[in-house]
Structure formats: structure tokens, C-alpha cells
Amino acid sequence: MRPRSLFALALSALALTVGARNGAAQELNPKQRAIVQSLKSYAESKPGMVNRIQQGSFYFKWLQTPPEGWDKACFKLGEMAGGGKFLSLQLVKKTSTGVELVTLNDVELNFLAEEAYRGFGKTIAEADKAIVSGMQKAKIPLTPELTNDFALALDQLRWELNH
């Protein structure tokens, strides 16, 4: 499963959202800056974990331990060419018919989930395509469980980047 198949969502909806919300460069506090830099450094040290395209650069980190109830989890840091940044968490669960993909977006880069999308498909790429092709239909309420999953995954990311 390649992280590149998971970045299509960011390019379609987040590019516009981040650009609109972040007309000026985002100011990060030292703790936020440290996490962002650690994630970038990690991704740059691993083959296939960075994707640079015209719209920006994307850095990936698969978690060793996803939140309970999920089979896999991947963080994606996006740095748009216009200066905006965002963080996404993709949660993957195998189902009897294929794959469920839930994407939680932190478009303000404040380390809080602000949007949630769900897609289904036979593969992660198909589930991602289902989200991208029907953004409004794929948008789901940001439940306390999803917010908690984002927070737990972020704690796991911090731990993994420091060890």
C-alpha cells in the first residue's frame, strides 16, 4: 500500500481550503514546529515517504500502532506551494467488502481534527477515490470518537518520532 494513493484528497479539497484559510504563512509555536520538522525529517529519511508535486510537498508516516479499531493509520503533512500547511490522518479498516478509509483533516495545523471524510472501496486507492469524487457526500460528522482517535494517533506520532 503506497502513501501516494492517500494524498489525492489533499490535492483536491485541502489545497483550496488551506489556501483560503492561510493567506499568510502559518505561525507555529515551538512545539508544533518541532513535530512538523520531525515528521519531515523522518519522511525524508525513508524511501517513498515524500511526494513533491507542483502544488506542494507531502510527507508521510505510517504509525506502528494505530488507534484501537483501526488496522492502519498514516499521518500526512502537506506543505502547499502557496505557503499553507495541513496535517491529515488516514485511518484504514478492512471490511467484509474491502476497505473503509476515514480521513481526518487538521487544516489550521493546530493539531485538532477539523473535518472528517469516509470512503469505501476494494482497495485504499478506491476508497480514497470515492472520497475525492464526492467530497460533500463523503463528509461525515466529526464525532467525539474520531476526535479521540486523532488525539491518540497524534500522541503515538509524537512518541514514534522521539524514539
**18-35, pLDDT tens digit by residue?**
444 544 456 777 888 889
Average model confidence (pLDDT) across the chain: 86
Select the more confidently predicted residue: 16 or 62: 62
- Kindly state the percentage of the chain with pLDDT values over 90: 71
Per the DSSP assignment, residues forming a β-bridge with 88 are: 76, 105
Cα(41)–Cα(137) distance, integer angstroms? 35
pLDDT > 50? residue 150: yes
**pTM of structure:** 0.83
In degrees, to the nearest 5, what angle opens at C-alpha 79 toward C-alphas 63 and 84? Answer: 125
What is the structure's pLDDT at 25? 53
CB 109 within 8 A of CB 85: yes
Q: What average pLDDT score do residues 105-122 get? A: 95
In sequence order, the 6+-apart residues with CB closer than 8 A to the CB of 133 are none
